[in-house]
Structure 1
Amino acid sequence: MDCPDCGNEQTRVIDTGTSADRTSVRRRRECQRCSFRFTTYERPEWESLQVKKRGGTIESFDRQKLRAGIERAVEKRDVTETTVTSLVDDIESELQDREARIVSSSLIGELVSENLRALDKVAYIRFVSVYKTFSEPQEFLRELDAVLDSELDDFEAPDEPQ
């Protein structure tokens, strides 16, 4: 492991433990040349998630790619970075909890859609318009109507007492 400060190859492990999420090993290291201390995290390769794309190709799960998609959907909305991080953590955790190490991109899209619908309706519409590859304005309008109908159901006045 190269020192991130001076680039020296000679570092030693001074402490080892399990990460807070218990999915990786945390190691505290120290450079033997400059005494710079840093932390590394090791995750077993066999535990990494794989994503099966629509075209049939399989690639490694990319947390940053998931985050970028969510950030595009919530752009200029009142959604904090902390909320986005929490959403990404929740989705990744849900995927990790599954038995299968290969998950479909459509499953990831559905999880993001569900979470965004509960979080911000505009971000949800933005996301599904790309995820579901709307090609006609009518498709967009149908989805928007479904969101608006559910909003109206939420705001209906309770029955008046008789």
Structure 2
Amino acid sequence: MAPICRVRLLSDLSGQTVCDREAASLDGRLRAFHSQQYQSLYRGSKKRNTELDKLALPAYLASKKASVVAQDFTDINEEVEQIVVCLPQRCKYNLPDRVIHARKLHHRHFFAVDNDYGHEKYMNTLQNQKYNMVKSLEELGKRAAAVMYEKKQWFCWIKQF
């Protein structure tokens, strides 16, 4: 008896419907169509991971000894500095979100039966990084509000509306 494809169908958003066709790939896990889907998702995931690895912390944060989540940004007093620090952090926050989503989709459909724990461990690492960025952005937002209040710039901003 020929092996059956072990993929959960991408067309089923719940990820519960298993393919019932004969597997035709070299390793006997997937049929040709699902092998193409697997490769496409894999290449997209690797591309996003490469982008994530290339993203470096801003010089301000890289020069600090404490971790990103432990920063309180009290030494930032200029709005320009806040923007320089904030924008790369937002990118670093959004990119892991996209990587996590793609990894979950890939894992749910192609590794639901085999349970590849390396994928799960890496997703947990990315979720921790994302959490740290969220906390860091919250602190940066608090500091930005404090600086704007101290310089009375918040009043000008409100007058625009």
Both proteins in one fold, TM over 0.5: no
Higher share of residues assigned helix: 2
TM-score by length of 1: 0.26
TM-score by length of 2: 0.26
Higher share of residues assigned strand: 1
